[in-house]
Amino acid sequence: MNKYEIVKRLEEFAPPELAEDWDCSGWIAETNKKEIHKIMLCLTVTEDIIRQAKAQNCEMIISHHPLFSINCHSELFSESLQPCIDIYCAHTNLDRTNGGTTDTLIKTLGLDVSQTGDFLRYVEKTLTLEELKKLLLKISPNLRYVNNKKVKTLNKIAFCAGSGSEFIEEALSNGADALVTGDVKFHTALESPMVIFDIGHFESEILVLQVFEKLLADVETIRADEKSPFIY
């Protein structure tokens, strides 16, 4: 398939204009090749992921996170300084679009979105804290949570895949009892006025690769071998 048709599908689902101004969504590297027969899907492009893609004869990588590491450049460019593989990412636009990162997390848990914010999604459902904990443990065995006020029952839960603890006040103002996200810092946890479940950045977002697979069902795709960098 032509790589621009592939990108067109992705952008129709997650329009680039939804991305934050600071974000680097879109083309990360572009070769002169036009036809793509095999794509590697990943959460984050790393030096190892590029090696995997080349070893598996993939002509393209589609990721959620942009290219962060400068160390990738040694694998990405050939001696002629031309990219050796096409790389495209859908980051905050995939977070914000309907059916995107956070919506996929909620759907995987068997829950339904009742209210949509900018980055936050809300589920209005009465659950005990223990019931929600058991649901979250199915996708994140390394779950940790904060419950400074000893809450036992939840009626409205805010969700933000990735790193979303900055939205605590927004969640509170919208009547949420709890926030499910990742990457919660110590002082944020210590001072939190609401229940926070930290399921891990990786665990909360890796589920979105299934969205790429559905969008590109008629193209051969493989998932990269990747895992959270944290060892528990």
User: For the domain that residue 195 is a member of, what is the CATH number?
Assistant: 3.40.1390.30
Domain carrying residue 167: 101-204
Q: Number of structural domains, the chain?
A: 2
| Number of neighbouring beta carbons within 10 Å of residue 214 | 10
- Token pair listed for 167: 């939205």
| Domain edge (last residue) among 28, 59, 94 | 94
Residues 65-121 pLDDT 10s: 988 766 676 788 876 678 999 999 999 999 999 999 999 999 999 999 999 998 999
CA 186 to chain CA centroid, Å, is: 22
The answer to whether residues 67 and 33 belong to one domain is yes
The residue count of the chain comes to: 232
Contacts of 129 (CB under 8 A, 6+ apart): 147, 151, 152, 153, 154, 178, 195
Residue 82 confidence (pLDDT): 84
Q: Is residue 120 part of a domain?
A: yes
How many CA atoms does the CB half-sphere of 108 hold within 13 Å? 23
Confirm whether pTM is higher than 0.85.
yes
Q: Is residue 122 part of a domain?
A: yes
Residues 43-60 pLDDT 10s: 999 999 999 999 999 999
Residue 76 confidence (pLDDT): 84
| Residue bearing the bigger pLDDT, 28 or 69 | 28
